Chain A
Amino acid sequence: MVRKGSASTWVAGVGFVALTALSAGILMQVHGSGPRAQETPALWLALAAWAALAVLALNRLALLQQPKPLRLLAPALLGAALLFVWEVGVVGWNVPRVLLPAPHAVAQALSTRWEVLWPDFLQTAIAVLAGFALGSGSGLAAALLCDRVDFLKRGLLPLAGLAGAVPIVGIAPIMVMWFGFDWHSKAAVAAVVTFFPMLVNTLAGLAASDTMHRDLMRTYAASHGVTLAKLRLPGALPFIFNALKINSTLALISAIVAEFFGSPIYGLGFRISAEVARMNVDVVWAAIALAALAGSLFYGLIALMERGLTFWHPSYRQ
């Protein structure tokens, strides 16, 4: 336990300041002398000191529990450390740009090519959102239908399970053939990919309400629709959100991969394959960083909604 003003807090404070100063120094040195940085012994010494400080800092941060926002410090520091190592390693050791560009080069590419990358992003985003909505929506509807018609459930559920083993993105060329090069074919791929996890998870969720609850509804003389609306659907929400989170990443990946198979002259997937052919690797990384950011935001949004609607689930209590 750290008491305010005690010696260990001072040490921690000094340690963090030292770490930051050391990092800045190393960065400047590496950028200054460029590819010959690894020859200076001072750099090696500084890196060793930095590593020791970073490990100590991580160890201390990992113990923090309260207040809640402080829990983000450990992963944040680790992420920053990884970025730092990446930058220093690439610039100082002259790693070929083609293999791995430095973070600053990626950031540069992101800003200089923004007028191209933004329309690319929009093109892909429309496909992702449309496919996600269509696939998840029809998966939910199909699950409700299967719930009503048991025969359909027993026939469709095993097939839906099998579909998880099949590389569905492979239907992309067929979708391009049917729906053309524009975003519609990509949305179609995303829709098919997101349909099955939604179907399987929703059915699992609908089955989750136990016999006692259903008997209770029977004693209230509640109809099937009322039982569905008041008991089984709210109980299925955790499962539905599980599928929505999975689907958010799946839709993004499917849309981008589908663009590898044919696209008009914009779209993140198109941009990636085109710039790879030209070996402009930093633009490729910039496009991926953009997609990753968007994907994380999408996922985070769904996670927030999940927290709001399924606050009652035991997984939110320790």
Chain B
Amino acid sequence: MTDATLPLPATRVAPAAPSRWAPMAVVVGCILLLWYVGAVALNAPQVTERLNNLGQPWDWSDLVNAAWAMERPVLPAPHQVALDFTRSVFDHAIDSPRNLLFHAGVTLSATLLGFMLGLLLGVLLAVGVVHSRVLDRGLLPWIIASQTIPILAIAPMAVVVLGSLGYPPLVSKAVISMYLCFFPVAIGMVKGLRSPEVLQMDLMRTYSASRPQLLWLLRLPAALPFLFASAKVAIATSLVGAIVGELPTGAQAGLGARLLQGSYFGQTVQIWSALVMASLLGVALVGLVGLAERATARLMGTRA
């Protein structure tokens, strides 16, 4: 029996691959819709009061339009936030305190410094834990316990105290970010450095590889995926640390300061713009780490 003589039986067609962007677009669209509706709902009390005071008859369209154009809304409409955002970014010089990019830059510098320091500290701790029994038994439980300490809570104190000792706010914010960062990096790297299979370690032993060689040739390359995964978490946390570090006592620059100012002066739209900028910054930073990950994977010849 050869295939050529057999008529092809009815085929079952595989279902078309589902689109990747359509569901996200639909969900985002729904969120925007709910946002607009919510803006009307939450702003309604103030708007109705104002419209009543005007003395003229008003209808639904007046209500909706007014709700989406308030100066100090309870919930600003998406286009209000977008407008304020673009105005702040494009209408002012980049080093003016009225430009959101200026504030983003301030926060970014602290974030990056803290991230680098935390990365270094985390990697060093991890290497130490993997190579020293004492550190593994004595220190690792404390590293894990350190994360139940709400260190973010001492952020204000650290900034004030270090400031009173003459350290610039950048340093104090970076210290907080570093403390927040080192934990995911340390834990992730410990897992990564211990990830090579026993078989691979035994092979190295048959080559009489020294401990530094074992670290450089086997453990570190094996730990890279873990490093990048925890770096993504670390950089997002570092951003949070930098923002919270800007909260106390009269910080004038930075996204956290913007949030606080907006909150004190009731400038809702300013708060939302700052939040949008902070979110964009966070997504961009995590994306950068992802790009670095892919570039490293290509350099090392592994598939991303």
Chain A residues within CB distance 8 Å of chain B: 58-59, 61-63, 71, 74-75, 77-79, 96, 98-99, 150-156, 158-159, 162, 164-167, 169-174, 176-178, 248-249, 252-253, 256-257, 260-262, 268-269, 272-273, 276-277, 279, 281, 284-285, 287-288, 291-292, 295-296, 298-299
Q: Which residues of B contact A273 (CB under 8 A)?
A: 156, 247-248
Q: How far is the CB of A98 from chain B (nearest CB, A)?
A: 6
Mark interface residues in B127-165 (1 if CB within 8 Å of A CB, else 0). Answer: 000000110111111100101111011111100110011
Instruction: Please determine whether B157 and A74 come into contact, CB atoms closer than 8 angstroms.
Output: no
Supply 13 further A-B pairs (C-beta < 8 A) apart from A169-B243, A292-B150: A61-B137, A71-B137, A75-B137, A99-B165, A151-B23, A154-B23, A166-B282, A171-B275, A273-B156, A288-B149, A288-B150, A292-B149, A298-B148
Q: How far is the CB of A241 from chain B (nearest CB, A)?
A: 15
Q: How far is the CB of B41 from chain A (nearest CB, A)?
A: 12
Q: How far is the CB of B36 from chain A (nearest CB, A)?
A: 17
Pick the interface stretch among B56-64, B84-92, B255-263. Answer: B255-263
A294 to B278, CA, bound (A): 30
Most chain B CB within 10 A, of A153, A165, A178, A256, is at A165
A248 to B147, CA, bound (A): 11
A155 to B24, CA, bound (A): 4
Q: Which residues of B contact A58 (CB under 8 A)?
A: 134, 138
Q: How far is the CB of A18 from chain B (nearest CB, A)?
A: 19
Known: A75-B138, A260-B247. Is A165-B148 also a contact (CB below 8 A)?
no
Known: A63-B133, A154-B20. Is A257-B268 also a contact (CB below 8 A)?
no
Instruction: Please determine whether A281 and B137 come into contact, CB atoms closer than 8 angstroms.
Output: no
Q: Which residues of B contact A61 (CB under 8 A)?
A: 137-138
Q: Which residues of A contact B138 (CB under 8 A)?
A: 58, 61-62, 74-75, 77-78
B77 within 8 A of A: no
Instruction: Please determine whether A177 and B249 come into contact, CB atoms closer than 8 angstroms.
Output: no
Q: Which residues of B contact A174 (CB under 8 A)?
A: 268, 271-272, 275
B286 within 8 A of A: yes
A78 to B164, CA, bound (A): 31
Q: Which residues of A contact B236 (CB under 8 A)?
A: 164-167
A81 to B23, CA, bound (A): 56
